[in-house]
């Protein structure tokens, strides 16, 4: 750790810093935050996150990565990402997959990931439905990694393990007629022998979603804070955010201190899985508990309306083909400037969805 005296900043400064780091100024077609990928939940929402930054899905691949969730990642970086996401040791591996359903199986640690990844590689040699792949993999792994499904009358591999092993199995995740289809990546890579590059991944989180605590980074990776202690980077400075201690790469201190103010009329419509919303300090992003519950719902959550550096409401889109209806619900009355900007952003959402027309409704 760096011995520099603690830096004191406000919540507003942190939000301004993150807005600048995420590339919402649309100055680059390949914003740096892509190192963390873009979560595609619900399916098809990730392109809206890219459009909010002036980027496109070109050169990206859809895989199961962080916490087993579907993400878009740079195709050329998948092998390195697999190394960075491979569990650090048996304890880390167990922490990532331990559930009541496979409590004993999770104790296999790294072996659970390896046997599942290898089974995926043997099975997915051509496009296959997720259910078909799951059935084959379930039969190929130790029984302790499966649980009984009464409706199906069969044992299934833990979904948490199955999906987290997807990237290590060199599997692409697509859809066909509304169903998940798995296929082999065009440029497969070996199952990692050991974790590599995890420290860089931790540093990337701190750069784009920091200042942050070890617990917040661990939650993003789907593990425990003690697991990432060995890869906690050097060259960090302690930052006090409204009295709460957190950490930031020393290289980003000037950017934090000098983060520019962004006018409230600078509006972006962020989908539910947007990288900006992946920060684990939700109370910093949105202090009101009731609004947190409204935005981060377990199922069917809305997107966030970002005006300047503040989340000022939620949004949903529906429709396809020629017209998309975008409904915005403000947390308070929205200014005329924000409303005008929303008209433009609604058209962007429509374009991403392949529609010709956008209808904006503000509630």
- Give the tens place of pLDDT for each residue, 181-217: 999 999 999 999 999 999 999 999 999 999 999 999 9
pLDDT digits (tens, 9 = 90+) for 1-33: 444 568 999 999 999 999 999 999 999 999 999
For residues 118 and 226, give the distance between their C-alpha atoms in angstroms, rounded to a whole number.
28
> In percent, how much of the chain has pLDDT > 90?
93
Helices and strands, counts by H and E, the chain: 13, 16
Q: Residue 242 has what pLDDT? A: 87
* Average pLDDT value for residue range 280-295: 97
Mean pLDDT taken over the chain: 96
pTM score of the predicted model = 0.95
**Sorting pLDDT into bands at 50, 70 and 90, what band is 363?**
very high
By the 8 A CB rule, do 140 and 112 touch? no
By the 8 A CB rule, do 19 and 52 touch? no
**Sorting pLDDT into bands at 50, 70 and 90, what band is 152?**
confident
Instruction: Give yes or no for residue 337 having a pLDDT over 90.
Output: yes
Strand-pair partners of 306: 268, 311
Q: Residue 4 has what pLDDT? A: 52
Q: Residue 1 has what pLDDT? A: 43
* Average pLDDT value for residue range 54-70: 96
* Average pLDDT value for residue range 166-170: 98
Strand-pair partners of 315: 303, 328
For residues 92 and 85, give the distance between their C-alpha atoms in angstroms, rounded to a whole number.
11
By the 8 A CB rule, do 114 and 136 touch? no
* Pure H helices in the chain: 11-21, 46-51, 78-85, 90-97, 110-123, 130-140, 159-164, 198-209, 214-221, 253-257, 282-285, 289-295, 336-352
For residues 67 and 223, give the distance between their C-alpha atoms in angstroms, rounded to a whole number.
9
Q: Residue 2 has what pLDDT? A: 45
Burial of 192 (0-12, 13-18, 19+ CB in 10 A): buried
Q: Residue 5 has what pLDDT? A: 66
For residues 121 and 189, give the distance between their C-alpha atoms in angstroms, rounded to a whole number.
10
* Average pLDDT value for residue range 248-274: 96
Cβ atoms within 10 A of the Cβ of 347, count? 17
* Average pLDDT value for residue range 290-315: 96
């Amino acid at each position: 750790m760096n011995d520099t005296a603690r830096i004191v900043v406000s919540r507003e400064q942190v939000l301004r810093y993150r807005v600048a780091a995420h590339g919402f100024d649309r100055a680059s077609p390949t914003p740096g935050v892509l190192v963390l990928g873009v979560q595609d939940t619900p399916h098809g929402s990730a392109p809206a996150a890219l459009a909010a930054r002036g980027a496109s899905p070109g050169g990206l691949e859809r895989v199961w990565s962080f916490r087993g969730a579907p993400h878009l990642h740079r195709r050329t970086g998948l092998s390195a990402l697999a190394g960075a996401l491979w569990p650090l040791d048996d304890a880390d591996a167990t922490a990532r997959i331990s559930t009541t359903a496979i409590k004993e199986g999770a104790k296999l640690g790294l072996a659970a990931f390896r046997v599942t990844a290898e089974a995926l590689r043997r099975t997915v040699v051509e496009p296959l439905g997720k259910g078909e792949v799951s059935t084959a993999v379930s039969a190929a792994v130790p029984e302790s990694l499966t649980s009984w499904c009464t409706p199906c009358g069969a044992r299934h591999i833990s979904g948490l393990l199955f999906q987290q092993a997807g990237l290590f199995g060199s599997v692409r995740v697509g859809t066909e007629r509304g169903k998940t289809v798995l296929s082999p990546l065009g440029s497969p890579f070996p199952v990692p022998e050991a974790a590599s590059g995890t420290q860089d991944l931790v540093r990337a989180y701190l750069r784009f979603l920091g200042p942050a605590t070890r617990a917040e980074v661990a939650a993003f990776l789907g593990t425990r804070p003690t697991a990432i202690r060995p890869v906690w980077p050097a060259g960090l400075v302690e930052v006090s955010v409204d009295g709460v201690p957190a950490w930031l790469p020393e290289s980003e201190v000037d950017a934090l201190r000098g983060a520019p103010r962004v006018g409230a009329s600078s509006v972006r419509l962020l989908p539910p899985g947007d990288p900006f919303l992946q920060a684990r300090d939700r109370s910093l992003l949105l202090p009101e508990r009731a609004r947190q519950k409204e935005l981060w719902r377990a199922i069917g959550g809305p997107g966030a309306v970002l005006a300047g550096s503040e989340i000022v409401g939620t949004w949903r889109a529906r429709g396809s083909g020629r017209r998309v209806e975008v409904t915005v619900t403000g947390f308070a009355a929205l200014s005329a400037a924000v409303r005008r900007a929303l008209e433009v952003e609604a058209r962007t959402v429509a374009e991403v969805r392949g529609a010709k027309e956008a209808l904006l409704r503000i509630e």
